[in-house]
Amino acid sequence: MRAAALHWLCVTEAGAKARGVAAMAEDYRRGALALDCGARLASRLPVPGRPPRPELVPPLAVKHRSMGTPEGRAAMIHALAHIEFNAINLALDAIWRFPGMPAAYYEDWLKVAAEEALHFSLLAAHLETLGHAYGDFPAHNSLWDMAQKTAGDVLARIALVPRTMEARGLDASPAVRAKLAQAGDLKAAEILDIILRDEIGHVAIGNRWFGFLCTERGIDPLQTYADLAARYKAPPLRGPFNVEARRAAGFSEAELAALRG
């Protein structure tokens, strides 16, 4: 299963990657894929595989477009699709890159990968109804940039990707959904409802494995998170925060208090 994750991570065509990940999850569910937790794998292809488009630009170079226009709504759906494409890659990378974790760790991230593939497929299909395709707008790569920074330590990866970068999506989702609904794009709003529901579970998986690793290493979660955020220059977290969703995703009251502070 971990070798299959690496294979699909290296696939460049976005739709093929999403379909392949869905098939891989089904193969594992029905017992057609084994799992070797200890295997040390290496990639002979670029990681991650990505299509030639969208053009990747710095975050500040991504133009803001009004969602009051069809073009602006398409640009927003494209940005969300790009996040979900990166999220597929992040889940696959968490599976193949880090050996020696319990089997449940790899099974959790396979579930995440399959759900991110569904999210991407839903958004890409909706984008087509707006006259565009994935790749039509520039995008930034900050999610994968943090994955590269944390490639050497599973603790840092879990702390700063699902629990930081992806948790920011819990905060941003309600406002984006409201704007899309207000603009009359109820289908997009429905897709965001699905994504928020699933992303709470994904962040919860990050919280579960962060807690596991902190316990295993005998370290304090709050201090460890602060140290890792500083060491890897994680983006500062700014409100408003979706406290209800973060609580549902397993952030402790002490963590929520520190966030608000």
In percent, how much of the chain has pLDDT > 90? 90
Greater confidence (242 vs 59) lies with: 242
pLDDT tens by residue, 16-54: 999 999 999 999 999 999 999 999 999 999 999 999 999
Residue 227: predicted pLDDT: 97
Count Cα atoms within 13 angstroms, Cβ side, for 122: 18
- The region that residue 233 occupies, defined by phi over 0 for left and psi between -120 and 50 for alpha, beta otherwise, is left
C-alpha–C-alpha distance, residues 156 and 113, integer Å: 19
Q: Is the Cβ–Cβ distance between 3 and 102 less than 8 Å?
A: no
With cut-offs at 50, 70 and 90, classify the pLDDT of residue 80: very high
Residue 45: predicted pLDDT: 95
pLDDT tens by residue, 135-148: 999 999 888 999 99
**pTM to 2 decimals?**
0.96
- Cα separation of the two ends of the chain: 42
59 pLDDT higher than 90: no
- The region that residue 104 occupies, defined by phi over 0 for left and psi between -120 and 50 for alpha, beta otherwise, is alpha
Q: Which of 68-82, 87-101, 193-207 has the lowest mean pLDDT?
A: 68-82
Q: Which two tokens stand for residue 202?
A: 């994904």
- In this structure, the dihedral spanned by the alpha carbons of residues 43, 209, 38 and 117, taken in order and rounded to 10 degrees, is -40
Residue 133: what are its φ and ψ, rounded to 5°? -135, 160
Residue 259: predicted pLDDT: 87
pLDDT tens by residue, 152-188: 999 999 999 999 999 999 999 999 999 999 999 999 9
> Which residues have C-beta within 8 Å of that of residue 254, sequence separation ≥ 6?
222
C-alpha–C-alpha distance, residues 21 and 9, integer Å: 9
pLDDT tens by residue, 194-244: 999 999 999 999 999 999 999 999 999 999 999 999 999 998 888 899 999
With cut-offs at 50, 70 and 90, classify the pLDDT of residue 61: confident
Q: Is the Cβ–Cβ distance between 192 and 176 less than 8 Å?
A: yes
249 pLDDT higher than 90: yes
Residue 60: predicted pLDDT: 81
261 pLDDT higher than 80: no
User: Stretch 111-124: mean pLDDT, rounded?
Assistant: 98
Greater confidence (57 vs 60) lies with: 57
Max CA separation in the chain (angstroms):
53
Residue 23: predicted pLDDT: 98
